[in-house]
Amino acid sequence: MTMGITGVAMLLLATAFTGVTADTNSDDVTALNTLYTTLNSPSQLTSWVSQNGDPCGQSWLGITCSNSRVITIKLPGMGLRGTLGYDMNILTALVELDMSNNNLGGSDIPYNLPPNLETLDLEMNNFTGTLPYSISHMAALKYLKLGHNQISDVNVVFNQLTNLTTLDLSDNTFSGTLSESFSSLKTLTTLYLQNNRFNGTIGVLSDLPLTDLNVANNQFSGWIPEKLKSIGNLQISGNSFINIPSPAPPAQTTPPPQPSPTGSPSDSNNSPPTNSNSKPSNESNGGNVEGRDGGKRKVGGGAVAGIVISLVVLGTMVTFFLIKRKSMRRQQGRDPEKDVPLTLTPLASGKFKLLRPMNIVSPSGKEGLQRTVSMNLKPPSKIDLCRSLDENDRLNKSVGEEGKPLFHQSDCIHSGRSAGGNGELQC
């Protein structure tokens, strides 16, 4: 009787001791019970149960604990089917989840993944659809391996994944261009994108510290950045890249220093330095002139217009002065009567008639006229009249053009009339 009581007491003490030393966090136990159920309770997972249990104390297959918390789950190549549990986000101490090389999937990867994972390996399964956005918040993630599935949409923003070193999205059905958030992966050294339907360019990857890049068998096009060509392990076949060297970035040239407005060396030395990226303000105007430093500077459009206007005004003034000078010469020059030549017009009878009377006579001619006036008003005879005209003609030879007489007196015929009548001379 005493022995029986002692045996029961020892059994109770042993049970109590086991419960204290092997007690697993209750949230972790709940999450693993759910996972076992969603995997269709596979027999190859020894010690696993769908309710309660002690994963840490009973050493469940693939489970590693630390201080009663589950920190790793490694079940690769176990032939498992089904999918992941819907409440795995409560495994807050889990840092590694490796379910690769199984037959999981047939649907999307569950949204509620463990938040503090450093390694997520789900490659070589049958997951489809879209990557869960919750991956965008896994700041501690270092290895993300999702290759060899049937996932079609990335739907992940990589801005917060500042510790990611390996990203494998190969052998899926991803399409579209690479997100600009790829440029935030400043610690990424290995990137596998082969055997997808990505298109566009890969310039977004040019500043990443990659040592292993595989983008083969996609629909990429354009130039390959020079920085990526130096990668040791680079696979780019099966795309539409341009094989010629990529264009070099435009060189930045520094414009020559501009002289100060006053032209003094002291002002130019004290002037603030010009920005190499800024353009001189006079570049927008026309015309080039030679600068003091040998370069060309632009002349303002206003200056060109001023020069043209000045030339027009100067030409107008010169024309005005020439016209004025010609007018003054006409006013101060000889009598216009002296410049008008005497002309003879032929008569119908073939003889000549004087069209213009003589207005200017020499002093000697005046004396002859006075003698003629003082003569008797009686009509002169034909001989006297011709003699008088012959004398006057000799006195007035200087009046005619080039010293030639206006008419010959020897041909004069006088037809007289009575006193007071008119006389006519015909030559």
Question: Six-digit token pair at 26?
Answer: 């209750």
Give the whole-angstrom CA distance, residue 376 versus residue 408: 25
In the predicted structure, residue 109 carries a pLDDT above the cut 70: yes
The one-character DSSP state at 423 is -
* pTM to 2 decimal places: 0.56
Task: Dump pLDDT digits (tens) for 367-397.
Answer: 544 554 444 445 555 455 455 545 555 544 4
The one-character DSSP state at 73 is E
Q: Say what the pLDDT of residue 263 is.
A: 45
Amino acid, single-letter form, for residue 91: L
Instruction: Tell me the backbone φ, ψ of residue 102, rounded to 5 degrees.
Output: -130, -165
**Nearest alpha-carbon partner for 264 in 283, 290, 292, 295:** 292
**Please, what are the domains in the chain?**
19-241 (3.80.10.10), 341-426 (no CATH)
Give the whole-angstrom CA distance, residue 298 versus residue 256: 13
CA distances to 1, 8, 13, 389 from 5, rounded to whole Å, are: 7, 5, 13, 196
Q: What is the CA radius of gyration of the chain?
A: 62
In the predicted structure, residue 29 carries a pLDDT above the cut 70: yes
**Nearest alpha-carbon partner for 206 in 223, 220, 218:** 223
Instruction: Collect all residues with Cβ–Cβ distance below 8 Å to 154 and sequence separation of at least 6.
Output: 130, 131, 169, 174, 179
Amino acid, single-letter form, for residue 241: F
**Nearest alpha-carbon partner for 178 in 155, 212, 201, 206:** 201
Instruction: Collect all residues with Cβ–Cβ distance below 8 Å to 20 and sequence separation of at least 6.
Output: none
In the predicted structure, residue 206 carries a pLDDT above the cut 50: yes
Q: Say what the pLDDT of residue 400 is.
A: 46
Confidence of residue 301 (pLDDT cuts 50, 70, 90): confident
More confident residue, 333 or 404: 333
In the predicted structure, residue 152 carries a pLDDT above the cut 90: yes
In the predicted structure, residue 210 carries a pLDDT above the cut 90: yes
Instruction: Collect all residues with Cβ–Cβ distance below 8 Å to 400 and sequence separation of at least 6.
Output: 342, 406
Question: Where does residue 285 rank: exposed (0-12), middle (13-18), buried (19+ CB within 10 A)?
Answer: middle
Question: Where does residue 179 rank: exposed (0-12), middle (13-18), buried (19+ CB within 10 A)?
Answer: middle
Confidence of residue 219 (pLDDT cuts 50, 70, 90): very high
Give the whole-angstrom CA distance, residue 276 versus residue 17: 79
Give the whole-angstrom CA distance, residue 169 versus residue 147: 5
Q: Is 196 left (phi over 0), alpha (psi -120 to 50) or beta?
A: beta
Question: Six-digit token pair at 330?
Answer: 């006409």
Give the whole-angstrom CA distance, residue 123 versus residue 341: 124
Strand partners, 344: 354
Question: Six-digit token pair at 230?
Answer: 């130096």
Task: Dump pLDDT digits (tens) for 336-347.
Answer: 444 445 444 454
Give the whole-angstrom CA distance, residue 307 versus residue 129: 75
Instruction: Tell me the DSSP string of 188-207.
Output: --EEE--SSEEEE--GGGTT
Q: Say what the pLDDT of residue 270 is.
A: 46
The one-character DSSP state at 39 is T
Give the whole-angstrom CA distance, residue 343 versus residue 326: 27
Give the whole-angstrom CA distance, residue 152 versus residue 83: 18
